[in-house]
A and B are shown apart, each in its own frame.
Chain A
């Protein structure tokens, strides 16, 4: 069968690509390091890389038509930076063989496989061969979980707050404002650059708020890509997307009505 022939070659190519991917990732690491602040850890760069891969994969997964799928595969391969001559040829071959395969499918309407089955199969093959892709494919953002610890009984510390602000490419102050407004408490950064929030909070709760922040202020509202810039223009924040170029205003952070929860006597003593 054509398909059986096609499978092993595909696997080989995938393997090749995988090794090559790593190289590219390393190369990218260096580049991004130079571009961005020198403090940015290796992990950050690789995380960004993963995001790229994920996004590509997602657009790939969403396509419904076969032809487009083939094109997208090519795109994927094209997206890999600086592919050497030999390998590009090999990849093109896989693309061609795929095309040929599809052609056969179209010619023979009584094919055994439906499109869905084939799609599932190719995804399972991809996952089998690149297990590191499997974990990061579902969430759009690969983020480290927030480290939230209790300080005493009434305060909560958010240890990797600055790290998270940096991975989101947002000013820590903006994130801090949002967190405090959303949680309805007060807080500040302490000497070790960790956020101390008044009140008891579980990591899960902080994670929820962070998720909402990402949805509102990080991902593009049009294409959901996380590569965005937050700009302030005459008192209004605008979210500018790097990948699709859309620009839209986002809601300003307001804490709104705050009920009196402290001791009223203490407040009265302060004001008078």
Chain B
């Protein structure tokens, strides 16, 4: 287990993107995900790519991090690209390899879908790179606020998320402690067959769960002792502020949407 207990992928910084209200970021990404599917011409894809690359550049997140963020989806991208290449049978035949004919349309569609994937991953990972998990939690609580009217437990959900975030490092430390304690009693986590190693995890998980439940109980009591009685009548220390930068972002995004619909074919 590593000592650097960074939760999520947040990279501290003070860029334009960092300073944006997390609500704005989530909303814009939500709409970006939708409009990506409206792009159908080279120009429209170009505009979207410009927006994504532009935001990545202003966030000053090193390119290597963004590439790392793309890593888990490479397989998916290549797979869908090949699928389109093979399945689509429209347009001119470009080449024929071992009896398989690659059509022009297949190449175009494959490329377009891959590009969409890249754009989506890039923009969403920018959110987690530039926003702390707690900011995201606050933003979600605010954005889901209207659902309180239909008795959706928005506050409770947000509290659950923030408590989970707070306890991740604690439970990680605990896991490390228990695994050392069990290793000293002869539990072997590293060698043996897959089945043996899975079995070795049980003496790790059982004490971890027992202690997590005990913690939960004590935490609940401590919260009650400090006057916690649900979201009703509660004030908040952490506040979200919509600033000028957010307005710029909205204008930019509206321009992007207009541009996109003008350049569609």
Bound pair (A, B): no
Chain B residues with a Cβ under 8 A of chain A: none
